[in-house]
Amino acid sequence: MAITLKINGQDRQVDAAEGTPLLWVLRDHLKMNGTRFGCGVAQCGACTVHVDGLPVRACITPHDALEGAEITTIEGKQGAVADAVRAAWVASDVPQCGYCQSGQIMAAVALLEENTDPSDEDIDTAMSGNICRCATYMSIRRAIKDAAQTL
Amino acid sequence: MLIRDLGIIPADDSLASAAPTAPPIEIGNFSRRGFMATSGILVIGLSLAGCAPGEEARLDDAAVAESPLTGVKGGDATPALWISITDTGIVKVTCHRSEMGQQVWTSMAQIVADELEADWDDVEIVQALGHPKYGDQNTDGSRSVRFNFHRLRVAGAAMRTMLEQAAAERWDVYPAQCKAQQSRVINTVNNDSLAFADLAEGASKLAVPAETDIRLKARDEWRYIGKPIASVTVPRIVKGDGAYGMDVERPGMVYAVVARPPQVFGKTGVVNDVATLAVPGVLRTVRLPNAMPPAAFNSLGGVAVVASDTWAAIQGRNALDVEWLDGPNADHDSDVYRAAMEDTARQPGKVQRNRGDAIAALASAEQTLVAEYYAPHLAHAPMEPPSATAEWKDGKLECWACVQDPQTTRSTLAAVLSVEADDITVHATWLGGAFGRKSKPDFVVEAARISREIGKPVKVIWTREDDLQHDYYHSVSAQRFEGVLDENGKCTAYLHRSVFPTISSTFVPGADNPSAGEMGLGATDTPFDVPNLRIESGKAPAHLRIGWLRSVSNIYHVFGVQSFAAELAHAAGRDQKDYLLDLIGGPRLIDPNAEGADYDNYGGDLEEYPIDTARLAQVTKRAAAMANWGRVLPDGHGLGIAVHRSFLSYVATAIEVVVDAEGNLTIPGVWLAVDAGTVVNPKHVKAQMEGGTLYGLSNALYGEISAKKGAVVQSNFPNWRVMRMAEAPRSFEVEIVESTASPAGVGEPGTPPAAPALANAIFAATGKRYRSLPILGPNGRRLSLDDSQDS
Ligand code: FES
Ligand code: FES
């Protein structure tokens, strides 16, 4: 059944099977490939999007539970915090393969939108749901602090 | 890298002859000015015939074949292969290696653009298709810079020379009076200048100069080589711009997942797909042929579920009722297998290198030190699971996939599908991590088979469960060491016996002898200055697909060698680092082949890339100094160190751990010194050292793949645990040794010292020696400190 989802500020018609996770609606139906698949079981964070401003794992969130919600993906995430995070990521070349980084950035932006001066422990808590197999963790920690400085 | 070194399968191009080149795909194009796929006419470097504005030109293979630069060290340096310049001044650099996070797009372009004297802002990267004309494209073995440094410099310099000549003709001055600088050629007589774009057409009519007529820049003239140039991929990555294998889209494409037999060479029995076909979105199922030995890069059999989206395909697979028939590996059980391997390691094995008479020395010693180490199978688990898209049209096959070696992908497809290589086009996408997994194109074979069957383009997606349960696993191994110390604590005899299922088994049914190539990764290259030294191997049959994983056999060998070195130090009552330096001994070059080894030195010449103990000692001392070795540590803290030369680079790693009274382990600091010879981009080296080390630490702490009844037990990140942010070291310092030696590898050498440095640090902190990996496992939160030694 077709429903309307609000994604990155736009209304999008989606006709996917009942219960299809948002991840596959974004990727396969809307061709928005920035949100990545890494595990499908809410363990890696590669699929992190924001729903009403909070980080959510798109791989286990049925799309049809999101009618009326504000969904934001890496492609549409904007604002001072997102700008600061992207700038810090670029300035210190955080990504290696980059595959996890959409999720890392969405998690980092959510953290800094809540807390502009995160401690190491805050970073651990906010970011430990996001796996990076290239192990860019040290760079991510530094870039979050660099971004926080500019906020 | 190993398959060729092992001489098991033919070189990539044996199945593929010269073919016309299709346009590079758009996802491979990037410029600092933005997307410029239609950004001007190519006026140099490529045949102009039939090249309409905005269309990618086609390489003129004949022109390449006739170039005087085909015989350059490292391969073809013909500028046409690597560089083209448009009439708007875009400098397109072809990258023939796969971008998988090592920043090869940036480093290859740095080399070319430097010698070419291109302005970095004009450079755009084009990803090459898989084709033998590029030479080796197997992005594996930490060799992209090593293999291509010289030839790409020559290619850039040749193009620069031609542009200078074209300018000289325009101005009617001597070429020596023209100097290329930042995408322009300057007339040094009167300071006039012309842009590359304006000179390109003239240059394209000139003959390519011979290597002897090309001047390479001196080191102090390098603009980009050796500099921390920013990555060209990162600005796209932070926007979520998709370019990975998972992101490929084709018109009319459908999606597929495959239910594979749980055992390697298990077979598909009765299939009932009624419930599958009832899942909304499922289109059909496709039965794939059963796999037969050798596994090689062929598909694994099973049943594909094809659907209109990935989720429907997954749901359809969940609903599938398949009878799996046992195959020859049905009885494989990791616990039983471990006991057998350890037993083999206690028996005399095949001698792989020998100096003096370690057996006699051990037999006559009053006391010997014996230690046995175990390291389990590992999965690569790149963040992006394997994914491939295949499309057949008029008997021709086109594939887009996250492959490390598009040439082997092409030749494999040609062989297993009985199609001419000329009729196959393979596009390498970006790779969301690879670590060796994606040099095995079995997943592309699946996509090609399914697409041929259903007559539509199809994207095959591997779920994480598929990735972990059907990998080409890093070998499980048992290592046994025996040593003798004299009354001064000096090691006088050293025996190392290594037992593991060989990678050869993936290509040769029944192969059960560790190969010389694998033994050369951390065993027969042992640099220790002991009078009696013996390296042996023991047989082990393979029951899973065995493959190479970041740093390959170095992982288990160096875990054993560098742990045992610390155990010898402890037995001698000596400081671990000082004793390690004594074992390495004085400055000298080591040739394992002089002592009976069949050592191939990573395919490098021992003259150009010797095993140099002075460089080993140097990085060891530097890492120790960085860690402030010898400082007084608080209770519960410990420092450990390990050093190893692999992929022709020298890496020493010192690690500090803290273990509290409950056994909670944290890593406050890592200090790493690396000598990789000439470095193209120090940022890349630092990132690879960090990433390689944490990859090793993650595996050492948590990683274990095991099998029951022939099937892999682990399935997803809950039971295949990997290092996360909170567990990562709090600080990580890298020092790069300044060197003018030939460039060596960096993608893998960070990994081998990680596990033994960690185990040595834990021993220093707790007195407990971990000889069996993983140290914590999937569920362990704390070290158990009750007994003093494990296993
Ligand atoms: S794909 Fe959603 S958390 Fe891994
Ligand atoms: S950058 Fe490769 S997985 Fe994070």
Per-residue pLDDT, B242: 75
Cβ–Cβ contact A39 with B under 8 A = yes
Contact assignment for B717 to A73 by CB distance below 8 Å: no
Q: Is the same domain home to A62 and A84?
A: no
Q: Do the chains contact at A105 and B717, CB–CB below 8 Å?
A: no
DSSP state of B605: -
Q: Quick one: what percent of chain B has pLDDT higher than 90?
A: 87
- Whether B478 and B561 map to the same domain: the answer is yes
Q: Please indicate if any CB of chain B lies within 8 Å of the CB of A42.
A: no
Q: Which residues of A touch B280 (CB under 8 A)?
A: 17-18
Q: Is B130 in the pocket of ligand 2 (CB under 6 A)?
A: no
Neighbours of B416 (CB within 10 A): 18
Residue B774, in any domain of the structure? no
- For residues B442 and B530, membership in a common domain is answered with no
Asked if B309 lies within 8 A of A28 by C-beta distance, the reply is yes
Verify that B428 and B282 share a domain, yes or no. Answer: yes
For residues A66 and A96, membership in a common domain is answered with no
In a domain, B218, yes or no: yes
* B349 part of a folded domain: no
- CATH code for the domain in which residue B539 is found: 3.30.365.10
A44 CB within 6 A, ligand 1: yes
**Token pair for B631:** 């400082």
Total domains in the fold of chain A: 2
**Same-domain pairing of A48 and A84:** no
**In chain A, % of residues over pLDDT 70:** 100
> DSSP letter string over B164-228?
HHHHHHHHTS-GGGEEEETTEEEETTT--EEEHHHHHHHHHTSPPPPGGG-PPPPGGG-SSTTS-
Ligand nearest to the CA of B434: 2
Instruction: State the residue range of the domain holding B85.
Output: 12-237
Helices and strands (H and E) in chain A: how many: 5, 5
B527 assigned to some structural domain? yes
DSSP conformation letters of B396-454: EEEEEE--S-HHHHHHHHHHHHT--GGGEEEEE-B-S--TTGGGSTHHHHHHHHHHHHH
The bound ligand whose nearest atom lies closest to the alpha carbon of A59 is 1
Same domain, B602 and B731: yes
A49 interface with B at CB cutoff 8 Å: no
> Across residues B130-152, what is the average pLDDT?
92
Q: What is d(CA B306, CA B447) in angstroms, rounded to the nearest whole number?
A: 11
Together in a domain, B284 and B410: yes
Highest mean pLDDT: which range of B69-73, B353-357, B777-781: B353-357
Cβ under 8 Å to B: A residues 91-150: 93-102, 105, 120, 123-125, 127-141
Count A/B contacts: CB-CB distance under 8 Å: 185
Angle between helices A137-150 and A101-114 (to 10 degrees): 40
The DSSP symbol for A28 reads I
At residue B742, the pLDDT reads 96
Same domain, A37 and A66: yes
CB of A49 closer than 6 angstroms to any ligand 2 atom? no
Domain boundary (B237, B262, B284) is at: B237
| Number of domain units in chain B | 3
Check whether residue A89 and residue A36 sit in a common domain. no
Domain-ending residue, one of B414, B429, B461:
B461
B547 and B669 both lie in a single domain = yes
For residue B550, give both structure tokens. 């970041």
Domain endpoint, select from B433, B461, B489: B461
Q: Report which ligand 1 atom has the smallest distance to the Cα of A129.
A: 3
Residue B175 · residue B168 · CB < 8 Å: yes
Instruction: Compute the nearest-CA separation of A71 from chain B (Å).
Output: 15
Touching check for A83 and chain B: CB below 8 Å? no
**Does residue A55 line the site of ligand 1, with CB under 6 A?**
no
pLDDT of B34 reads 35
Find residue A62's DSSP bridge partners.
A21
Q: Are residues B91 and B233 in the same domain?
A: yes
Contacts of A132 in chain B (CB under 8 A): 383
Q: Which two tokens stand for residue B626?
A: 């960085």
Tell me which of A18, A39, A72 is where a domain ends.
A72
Residues A40, B102: C-beta atoms closer than 8 Å: no
Same domain for A10 and A62: yes
Do A88 and A64 belong to one domain? no
Which residue among A43, A97, A137 places its CB closest to the CB of B100? A97
The CATH number of the domain holding residue A91 is 1.10.150.120
**pLDDT value at residue B56:** 38
Mutate to test the interface with A, among B238, B723, B730, B733 (most CBs of A within 10 A): B238
**Of B12-26, B197-211, B702-716, which one has max mean pLDDT?**
B702-716
A3 in contact with ligand 1, CB cutoff 6 A: no
Q: Are residues A56 and A102 in the same domain?
A: no
Examine the domain organization and report whether B118 and B267 are in the same domain: no
Q: Any long-range contacts for A116-122 (C-beta under 8 Å, 24+ apart)? A: A116/A148, A116/A151, A117/A148, A118/A144, A118/A145, A118/A148, A120/B730
Considering the domain architecture, whether residues B137 and B168 belong to the same structural domain is answered as yes
Task: Examine the domain organization and report whether A14 and A66 are in the same domain.
Answer: yes
* Res. B57: pLDDT tops 50: no
**Which amino acid belongs to residue B778?**
P
pLDDT of B234-273, one tens digit each?
999 999 997 999 999 999 999 999 999 999 999 999 999 9
From ligand 1's centre to the CA of A42, what distance in Å?
A: 4
Average pLDDT, chain B: 91
Of A52, A72, A92, which marks where a domain is finished?
Answer: A72
Q: What is the ipTM metric for this complex?
A: 0.98
A136 lines ligand 2 (CB under 6 A): yes
Report how far residue B628's alpha carbon sits from residue B668's, in angstroms, rounded to the nearest whole number.
14
How far apart are the CA of B623 and the centre of ligand 2, in A? 26
CA distance B78 to chain A (A): 30
Binary contact (A89, B238; C-beta < 8 A): yes
Mean pLDDT, residues A72-77 taken together: 98
Q: What is the pLDDT of residue B220?
A: 97
What is the mean predicted confidence (pLDDT) over A24-49? 98
Do A67 and A117 fall within a single domain? no
Give the number of whichever ligand sits closest to the CA of residue A97.
Answer: 2
CATH of the domain at A27: 3.10.20.30
Q: Which ligand is nearest to the CA of B237?
A: 2
Instruction: Tell me the pLDDT tens digit for each residue of B286-297.
Output: 999 999 999 999
- Give the residue from A24, A40, A72 where a domain finishes: A72
pLDDT at B729 over 90: yes
- CA B478/CA B340 separation, integer angstroms: 10
Q: Quick check: is B771 in a domain?
A: no
* Mean pLDDT value of segment B49-54: 32
Q: Kindly report the CA angle at A131 between A128 and A136, in degrees rounded to 5?
A: 95
Q: How close are the terminal C-alpha atoms of chain B, in Å? A: 34
Q: Does residue B95 share a domain with residue B196?
A: yes
Q: Is A27 on the interface with B (CB under 8 A)?
A: yes
Interchain contact, A133 vs B311, CB within 8 Å: no
Rounded Cα–Cα distance for residues B529 and B526 (Å) = 9
- Answer yes or no: is B787 within a domain: no
Q: Average of pLDDT values for B343-347?
A: 98
B214 is a domain residue: yes
Measured in angstroms, how far is the CA atom of residue A45 from the centroid of ligand 1? Answer: 5
Structural domain containing residue A142: 80-150
Q: Which residues pair with B263 in a beta bridge?
A: B711
pLDDT band at B70 (very low <50, low <70, confident <90, very high): confident
Chain B hits for A133, Cβ within 8 Å: 381-383, 433, 435, 695, 722
**A13 CB burial (10 A radius; 0-12, 13-18, 19+):** exposed
Q: In this structure, are B630 and B707 located in the same domain?
A: yes
A136 and A96 in a common domain: yes
What is the distance in angstroms between the CA of the first residue and the CA of the last residue of chain A? Answer: 43
Phi, psi dihedral angles at A127 (to 5 degrees): -105, -5
Reduce the DSSP state of residue B138 to 3 states and report it. coil
Please indicate, yes or no, if residue B143 is contained in any of the structural domains.
Answer: yes
Best probe residue, ligand 1, of A26, A51, A59 (max atoms within 8 Å of C-beta): A59
Cβ of A135 less than 6 Å from ligand 2 = no
Q: Based on the fold, state whether residues A68 and A6 are members of the same structural domain.
A: yes
pLDDT surpasses 60 at B616: yes
Q: How far is B314 from chain A (nearest CA, A)?
A: 11
* Residue B595: other Cβ atoms inside 10 A: 17
Say if residue B281 is in the same domain as residue B308. yes
